[in-house]
Amino acid sequence: MDAWLAKLLSQLHASQPARPKADTQDITETWQWVERLVGDALTMVEAEMQLDGCIGHHTACNIQRALIAALVTGTFCPPPRIHVLLSMMHPKFTGKVPCSDVDCLNGPGCLGNHLQLLQTAPLPAATGTDAVGCWEHFKYSTSNIRVVIVHHKNDR
């Protein structure tokens, strides 16, 4: 174990640049941009749900852009590898479409990298100006998402 950790440490040091590039943008500016992108997408959802009871194509595309930006930049959670995002299976297709990993050794029953929707107990009613607990669209307060990563850099 010590030999492996020493090798890992040396690889980490070898892969890190000595100093950041001078023209590199501060990551907090990127995170602020992503937070605005996400906020705008959620505002669009709220407006369309109140007007029409569903969201349109343009709003769905903006939600997808915001979600990808949030995942890639690590704004709200640590960013996964791009391969994980590219191979992620939507819950609607999990188990209906075969695993997309060409090197999969898990057999035909493998679900691959996928998302699971989990039902949870309803959140208590929001108090004051806290909008997170009262956003009622798409079972927001009673659903969680689990990311299941079967195939990744070290899956063997």
Q: Give me the residue spans of the domains in the chain.
A: 26-79, 80-156
DSSP labels for 26-52?
PHHHHHHHHHHHHHHHHHHHHHHHHHH
pLDDT in tens, the chain (156 residues): 888 888 888 888 888 777 777 787 888 999 999 999 999 999 999 999 889 988 999 999 999 999 899 989 999 888 888 888 888 888 889 889 889 888 889 988 999 999 888 877 665 655 544 444 456 666 666 678 888 999 887 666
* Dihedral angle, C-alpha 62, 63, 67, 73, nearest 10 °: 30
pTM of this prediction? 0.65
